[in-house]
Amino acid sequence: MSADKRLKPNSQCQVSKSGESGILNERILLIVFESVKWDLQLLCLIASLNRKLQAIAERLLWRKLCEYRAPRMVEALAKCATNGRINGGWHALAKLMFYCCGSESTRNFKLSQPRRGHFVTASRFSKTSGRSFLTRKCRGDLLYVSDPCEHPMGDKEDDLGIFRGVFQGFHRSRTKARLVQRKAELEDRVRCPYCGARVWSMSSARLVPKCAARRLGSHDGGLDYFVCVNGHLHGNCWLVPLSSDEDGGDDDEDDDDDESGVNDLDYDNRTVKTEKDSEPFPPPDQNNRIVCSGSLTIAITKRNQIFHWNKGMHLELHLEFLPLNLYLSLWIHTRD
C-alpha cells in the first residue's frame, strides 16, 4: 500500500473533525455572530441544525443576542437570574423582543377576526410604561412593556394594539404575591406565546390599573392582558384616537376635588379660577405683577395662624415678594 493511499483517509478524518469542532466552538460562533451584528434569521438557522447547536444557542447565543439589542434591560433582568438563567430561558426573552404574538378572542376581549403573529424589526421596551401596568401595592416591581404594535381592524372598528413585556424576578414579585393572595386561577385555554407556560388573566384578577389604558391610548376597560408563571406579559387593547380634551392627568395620582370650590395658588401656578368659573387672573406683566379688579378676600395661613382682610376694587400682587412658605388662597367675587 502506497503512502498516498494511507494518508488520504486520515486527512479526510482530520478535516471532518476540525470542521465539526469549528462550528461547535463557542468562541468561533461568537466571532461569526458579532461580525454579522447578531442577525436574528441566521441565529434561528444555526439553532435548528442539530441538538448540540441548539444547546449552545439556548445557553449562550440567545443571551448574547438580547444583550446586543437591549443591554440595559438585560442587565436589569439578569440581576435576578440564577446561574445565568432567567425564568423561561433566554430564547423566550429573545422571542418576546422580536415577535408580536398576534391576538385571538378571549373571555374578556372579543375580536371580529384573529390577528396572526409576526416578527418585528425593532421594538422599544420601557420600565416607565411598565409602571402604568402595576397597581399601587405592586409599584416596587420592575416591569418592562413595549409600545403597542398597531393592527388596523377596518373602518368600523378602532385599531388593535398588541403589546408585550417581562417582569424582573417575577417569582419574588409583589404582583405574583397579589395573584396568590387573591387566589386567581390560571387560564385553561390561554398559554404564554413565548415560553408556553400557563398564564393569569389580569382582568379576571382585577389587577388592571386605569392608568394602563391611558398609557396605551385606550379607553377604560378596552384592554386585557395576561402574565405567565415565568413573568412574560402579553395583551391587547383598542387604540382610540386622542383628542385635545382627553384626560391628561398624572398616571400615579388621582385628582382630589376641593368641596369649597377654591383652588390653591402657588408660586409656580399663578392662575386661579373663581367660584363661578370666571376668567382666570391675567398673566404677570413685565414687572412680574398681576393686576385685577373686583371684590377680593384673601386668607393667608402662616405658622397655624390665619389672617383675613378685604381689598377694594384694585389689587396688585408682586410675585417676587411672595414668601414660598405662605399658603395663599384667593376667593374672587366678580361683580354682576
d(CA 22, CA 18): 6
Residues 255-296 have pLDDT tens digits of 333 333 333 333 333 333 333 333 444 454 554 444 444 444
Q: Tell me, yes or no, whether 139 and 206 share the same domain.
A: yes
Q: pLDDT at position 329, please? A: 36
- Say if 323 falls within a structural domain: yes
- Say if 1 falls within a structural domain: no
Q: Tell me, yes or no, whether 221 and 127 share the same domain.
A: yes
User: Of 19-23, 114-118, 160-164, 312-316, where does mean pLDDT reach its minimum?
Assistant: 312-316
* 153 and 130 Cβ atoms separated by less than 8 Å: no
Q: Tell me, yes or no, whether 156 and 275 share the same domain.
A: no
Report CA-CA distances (Å) from 298 to 51, 66, 301, 308.
Answer: 80, 61, 10, 6
C-alpha cell at 137: 401595592
- Which residues touch 75 (CB under 8 Å, ≥6 apart)? 67
Q: Tell me, yes or no, whether 112 and 152 share the same domain.
A: yes
Greater pLDDT, 19 or 204: 204
Task: With both helix axes pointing from N to C terminus, report the angle between 3-23 and 26-35 in degrees, rounded to the nearest 10.
Answer: 60
Mean pLDDT of 61-81: 93
Mean pLDDT of 160-179: 95
Structure confidence at residue 310 as a pLDDT band (50, 70, 90): very low
- Say if 230 falls within a structural domain: yes
Q: Tell me, yes or no, whether 123 and 188 share the same domain.
A: yes
Q: Tell me, yes or no, whether 193 and 134 share the same domain.
A: yes
Q: Tell me, yes or no, whether 101 and 42 share the same domain.
A: no
What is the DSSP-derived secondary structure letter of residue 82?
B
Q: pLDDT at position 23, please? A: 62
Question: Is this prediction's pTM over 0.85?
Answer: no
Per the structure, how many domains does the chain have?
3
